[in-house]
Structure 1
Amino acid sequence: MTRKKANRTYIVHVQRPKHDELLGDEDVEDWHRSFLPNTTLDTGEPRLVHSYRHAISGFAARLTSEEVRAIESMEGFLIARPSRILKLSTTYTPRFLGLDHQSGLWVDSSMGLGVIIGVVDSGITPNHVSFMDDGTMPPKPPKWKGRCRFHNKTLCNNKLIGAIAFRGSRRPQPKDPKNGGHGTHVAGIAAGSFVDNANVLRLARGTASGTAPKAHLAIYKVCFTSGCSGADIVAAIEEAMKNGVDILSLSLGKKSIPFYDDDIMIATLSAVRAKIFVCMAVGNSGPYRESVENGALWILTVGASTHDRRVSATVKLGNGVEVEGESGYQPRTFNATGNIIFPGFGAQNGTVGCMKNSFNNTDVKGKIVLCNIEEGKYRDMSVNVKDAGGVGMIVLDTSREGATTLSYDYVLPTAHVNYTTASKIVNYLETQVHRYTQQLHLMGLPTLLKSTHEELVIRKAIISSNYDKPPTGFDLDGNPILNDYEEHINRAKPHRHGFVDK
């Protein structure tokens, strides 16, 4: 039995048809269809996924490798490449950046008044408080040619002026699948309206806003659970160019390839030529060789370093030495005293990481547990420690994380410490083990975790923080709350949009 060749989505670049400037979009689409072996697959689905005219000259279509080879011999063909799958790469930031309601850059730029920011991401939560029209937003600019593709058209307003989703040839709802998800977060950082009394678990209370709170938002959803299709991203850039956006924000990426092989970089160059300012994220990887993403010279590529605010937790060792960490768990009474235990360290039972099966019959009851960092599982670690009877946790950075610490919403007293501090704590333990070899499981090493509810610590090399992420709900007092304190490079980029004038 002959096995059928698999279809996949290819982005095909072709020459522009003759007298292109006189043709309508449907005529150009017919020109693109002329390259295809037929218009539909055996399943009845259309072969043509997208027709491009502005971002690139070409189309995206479902083809087999043999069909692509047949197209290569046709007049007007330039090149074809499989569509790549890309990944999705604070109340305080405006003040930190020196933005003031009364004078300076915010006033000079009218807080982005009249600017249209297009966000290419995972969609948006349209009824989010950061995107409500409070009556102070001006009408959408006359040049705006976009559409509101929500079933409920009233979800669009003078702040959120348009939204559309691209998933192959389908046009699903452009909603963010997760309430307050990645796309909602990025849009809020770029142009969220002012929201008073925003806080994270009652901490860092203040007024949240985007960097350009008076700008309009246009949303282009291209990211789903399977990732972000390159063909859909080019289609979103194409649509944004036709719609009349001033700025394009793309917080997504993948390992860099030569620009002439990168359909998205080619599309962004077309956008820049059309006088659209394009801003992209540098990625979350590194620091190591070739870890920078989206490094084309014609776009603004933005990364994040650190900021000057942290919610601190102090670790006091048995020898009186105090070291600093961070924690988003900040109840009114925050202290835990106990003996240290480090499952999986040295001759200890269990494995490092404090995941569900890490303790392996190790008795952690009443103790403060040391846990090597498990990226993306911080809260799970604290749940596991608490369920096992631990009274506190210290999350230890490895050399890979370096100086990066995060303030997560743990479920028990916790301090996340950087690699240098982690090394000091481990060295202290090794010294005590050597001195008291009869003490099994590092018993008799008292440690105190304590905290201040909010502490300002001056750091240098500031690029961005994301404490101004839009609120995602309300606390028991009715005040807006945020998701967490997590910081990612790809969310640093939207802060720059407020500084781009028309």
Structure 2
Amino acid sequence: MRGDDRQHQPRLRRALSLATIVAAVVATVVATVAATALTAAAPARADDGEGEGETTLHLVTLRGPGTAGHRGEAPDTEVARRMLALQAAVLDSVDADAPVYQWTTALNGFAVELTEDQHAVLVADDRVALVEENAIRALAGTVGAPSEPQAPVRPRSSRAAGGAGTVIGFVDTGIDPTSPAFSAVSALGPAPRRYAGSCTDAPDDDSWDDTDCSEKVVGAQFYVAGFGGDQLRSASALSPRDTDGHGTAVASIAGGAADVAVRAGQHRPGRFSGIAPQARIAVYKACWSAPDPADD
């Protein structure tokens, strides 16, 4: 938030609307999708020229639920093993290259480079529920500089409680764990028993290690293979750290700590509280910046 607060009221209303969606929907959807077991493999490369061998990245979803929806007696590990075996059979049926990612928790599927002919075969396969071509999806909303995350959305009254015992998952541009919205925490309540996420180390990024997680930020992972590590803006961090500001802003609105002093440049608009200040946060960085902002 910059300049006259009145000038930005529409923007604040949009941000609060986004926060409501995040708190109500992301906690349900992302907590399963983002917690899905992702197995990275070396991404296949598309042919340089045009023709039958040219490939594009696709997301392939097989029929039936992931392990989170399994209701039989078999343990999740055995169910996941069967899913991976089925995925291998489907990939072999079209002689596809190694998948870029595979998942088994929320859904049963994989991301893989496909030719047009391979795509057509999989669409007709009874074992396949959906085949989606990869596409750029622009981030919604407005952001500030990474050093000034959008915590300064000011509710009518400061919330001190809400969200205890829950973990909100965010698929976004990562997080700045040093923000006061996440570092000033208290009374979070007992840790959720069923949460199984973890905080990654990032050996290629000196600005992040697993100690950047905390009682508040309980999980952090990053996934770049689908976007392409060689397609990133030079300032991008190969870690869960947010170099854009969007992920930090959304996480602070939904689950930022209570009664945090707001600072936006030279402005001091008051105190801030997230919608669910006692919630814990899990970050899954899958949104990246490119040299051309149109490709973000």
TM-score normalised by the shorter chain: which range applies? 0.5 to 0.7
Aligned in 2, Cα 1:47/1:115: closer, same or farther, shift over 3 Å? Answer: same
Say which is worse superposed, 208-217 or 154-163, in terms of deviation: 208-217
Write out per-residue CA displacement over residues 268-310 of structure 1, whole angstroms, 9 at most, x where no aligned residue.
xxxxxxxxxxxxxxxxxxxxxxxxxxxxxxxxxxxxxxxxxxx
Aligned in 2, Cα 1:193/1:55: closer, same or farther, shift over 3 Å? Answer: same
Q: Which of 83, 88, 94 is the equivalent residue of 1:33? A: 88
Q: Which has the higher contact order (CA 8 A, sep 6+)?
A: 2
2:61–2:130 contact (8 Å) kept in structure 1: yes
Distance in 2 (CA, whole Å) between partners of 1:57 and 1:40 is: 19
Distance in 1 (CA, whole Å) between partners of 2:186 and 2:50 is: 64
Aligned to 1:144: 195
Alignment TM-score, normalising by the size of structure 1: 0.37
Aligned in 2, Cα 1:211/1:12: closer, same or farther, shift over 3 Å? Answer: same
Matches within 5 A, 1:380-391: none
Aligned to 2:289: 225
RMSD: 3.4
1:12–1:60 contact (8 Å) kept in structure 2: yes
Specify the code of the residue in structure 2 equivalent to 1:224.
Answer: W
Aligned to 2:59: 11
2:57–2:111 contact (8 Å) kept in structure 1: yes
Aligned to 1:64: 115
Q: Which of 235, 241, 262 is the equivalent residue of 1:175? A: 241
1:31 aligns to what SS in structure 2? helix
Distance in 2 (CA, whole Å) between partners of 1:91 and 1:70 is: 51
Aligned to 2:212: 155
Q: Which of 76, 81, 93 is the equivalent residue of 2:154? A: 93
Write out per-residue CA displacement over residues 209-243 of structure 1, whole angstroms, 9 at most, x where no aligned residue.
3222221111111101259xxxxxxxxxxxxxxxx
Write out per-residue CA displacement over residues 181-235 of structure 1, whole angstroms, 9 at most, x where no aligned residue.
10011111111124654232332432233222221111111101259xxxxxxxx
Distance in 2 (CA, whole Å) between partners of 1:183 and 1:55 is: 22
Q: Which has the higher helix share?
A: 2
Distance in 2 (CA, whole Å) between partners of 1:137 and 1:206 is: 23
2:52–2:115 contact (8 Å) kept in structure 1: no
Matches within 5 A, 1:6-405: 6-16=54-64, 21=72, 22=74, 23-37=78-92, 47-89=98-140, 91=152, 93-94=154-155, 96=156, 99-100=157-158, 106=159, 110-132=161-183, 134=185, 136-151=187-202, 152-168=209-225, 172-178=238-244, 181-194=245-258, 196-226=260-290
In the TM superposition, what is the alpha-carbon distance from 1:15 to its structure 2 partner?
2.8
1:88 aligns to what SS in structure 2? coil
Specify the code of the residue in structure 2 equivalent to 1:12.
Answer: V
Distance in 1 (CA, whole Å) between partners of 2:94 and 2:122 is: 14
Aligned in 2, Cα 1:206/1:150: closer, same or farther, shift over 3 Å? Answer: farther
Aligned residues: 210
Computing the radius of gyration from Cα coordinates, the structure with the larger value is 1
1:225 aligns to what SS in structure 2? coil
Q: Which has the higher strand share?
A: 1
Alignment TM-score, normalising by the size of structure 2: 0.60
In the TM superposition, what is the alpha-carbon distance from 1:48 to its structure 2 partner?
1.4
